Amino acid sequence: MNDTIIQVKNLVIAFGNFKAVNDISFEVRRGEIFGFLGANGAGKTTTIRTLCGILNPTSGQVFVNGTDVAASTAVLKPHIGYMSQKFTLYPDLTVKENMDIAGSLYELSQPQINQRRDELFAFIGLTNVPKGPVRQLSGGTKQMIALAASILHDPDLIFLDEPTAGTSPQTRQVFTR
């Protein structure tokens, strides 16, 4: 059995003449926690977006969960969760409405959404779910809800792009559980 869940070979991502990612290769095994460290503009987010099938590689090969990302993102998407570095929630909708939309994107039934939402909120310690629009919430609460939305469908693999940016030390502890 192959335990490799991510395999990147000679990945190049270019925008015109600018190479945002220049010939990187790496593997991640199932169960490992893998992180990118680097300065702003080093290509971390660009690489993550490519691993998620949002961007296509200029050259090289990218396999995630056994799927060639460039060939079939539709096969890949149900198996991954992605939390971008920017707030991804709809600010004028409530927490429940945001979670319902996230669940519907993965074709979960309403009972599945409700059960999974309750489990995730209990896990992150969100016991009093705010009723108003998401825009009224603190940055940390938004990030915790965005994390819950990104894993609502119970993916095999999760990509977190600076998930604790703009959060308090207490909120950061939620992300290390």
Residue 106 within any structural domain of the chain: yes
Please give the pLDDT value at position 126: 84
> Within a domain: residue 78?
no
User: pTM of the predicted model, to two decimals?
Assistant: 0.83
pLDDT of residue 84: 86
Are residues 168 and 116 located together in one domain of the fold?
yes
Where is the domain boundary, 14, 39, 71? 71
Q: First and final CA of the chain: distance in angstroms?
A: 28
pLDDT of amino acid 76: 87
pLDDT in tens, 52-88: 999 999 999 999 988 899 888 788 888 999 998 777 8
Determine the pLDDT at residue 171.
63
Q: What is the CA radius of gyration of the chain?
A: 17
DSSP at 153: T
Q: Which residues contact 39 (CB under 8 A, 6 or more apart)?
A: none
Residue 107 shares a structural domain with residue 166: yes
Look at the chain and report how many structural domains it folds into. Answer: 2
Query: How far is residue 152 CA from its own chain's centroid?
Result: 11
> In the chain, which stretches have pLDDT less than 50?
none
Q: What's the order of all strands across the beta sheet hosting 59-64? A: 18-29, 4-15, 59-64, 67-68
Same domain for 57 and 106? no
Q: What integer pLDDT is reported at residue 113 of this predicted model?
A: 97
pLDDT at 119: 94
According to the model, what pLDDT value does residue 6 have?
95
Same domain, yes or no: 106 and 151:
yes
* Domain extent for 148: 95-155+162-174
